[in-house]
Amino acid sequence: MTQPGIALITGASSGIGLELARIHAQKGGSLVLVARSKDKLEKLKLELENQYHISATVINEDLSDPESAKRIFDKTQKMGIVVDTLINNAGFGGHGLFHSRSLTAEQDMIQVNITSLTNLTHYYIAGMVERNGGRILNVSSGASFMPGPLQAVYYATKAYVTSFTQAISEEVSDKNITATALCPGAVETGFVKAGNLDGIDVWKNAKSAKSVAIYGYKAMEQGKLVAVNERLASFVLNWIVPVLPRKTVLKMSRQSMEKTS
């Protein structure tokens, strides 16, 4: 079996990103692990190197910093690391009425979920085009299929990710490069606590980060454009939501984000 090359994964210290790192290492691929938590990354590096005998490089960066993507790219260039697979996993949300939330928090969300993702993709896809090969996996969300009252900016950022991913996939389709948008529903990660989403019913049936990572990695290998990990959700998002009146969709979306406890 051909080894999968080097994957750069953002948000690799926990949740889906951590599980994607484990999957890639298990397949024999080396890694560039990116996140804010250096201690967690170093621990993961040791785990993966010892268990799978691969090489893992740690880059400690906060993607809410506008210059972080350039620093990450420059570091990998300086070390001579050729990134064959780019996995933009880092992202976060936040609950509440837009006019009541901190504008700084919303701007940071846009920076991480959209701008840094876009910048990293731009930096690394150029090399993929030159080498005529590569894979990109952008972790989006089922939220990307509709507007999200009470998570207005988060839903909008994920709509961008899903749209952007499909567009670039078409642009480089003749270069042996694939781009996949992974659009999971509720997932058991630190996302709920970080985004003040406790008490929302949808997270009571959240899928494990490992199961979502397995599904997403396989979808990337298969070159899927958009991958929704739940069959029923995929049907509803692709075939029911688009034909419903917009105000109905908005009401349904808001109700799903209302706190019940």
Q: What is the pLDDT of residue 259?
A: 67
Token pair listed for 71: 């620093």
- The tens digit of pLDDT for each residue in 179-236 reads 999 999 888 766 555 555 655 566 567 789 999 999 999 999 999 999 998 887 777 7
Q: Which of 123, 154, 160, 217 is catalytic?
A: 154
Query: Is 215 in the active site?
Result: no
* Domains along the chain with CATH numbers: 7-257 (3.40.50.720)
Burial per residue of 158-184, b for 16 or more beta-carbon CB atoms within 10 angstroms, e otherwise:
bbbbbebbbebbeebeeeebbbbbbbb
What residues in the chain have per-residue pLDDT under 70?
A: 1-2, 189-204, 259, 261
Q: What is the pLDDT of residue 236?
A: 79
Q: How many CB atoms lie within 10 A of CB 121?
A: 20
Q: What's 228's DSSP letter?
A: -
Q: What's 84's DSSP letter?
A: S
The structure's pTM equals 0.90
- What is the spatial order of strands in the sheet that 56-60 belongs to? 56-60, 31-35, 7-10, 85-88, 134-139, 177-182, 226-227
Q: What is the pLDDT of residue 11?
A: 97
Residue type, 248: T
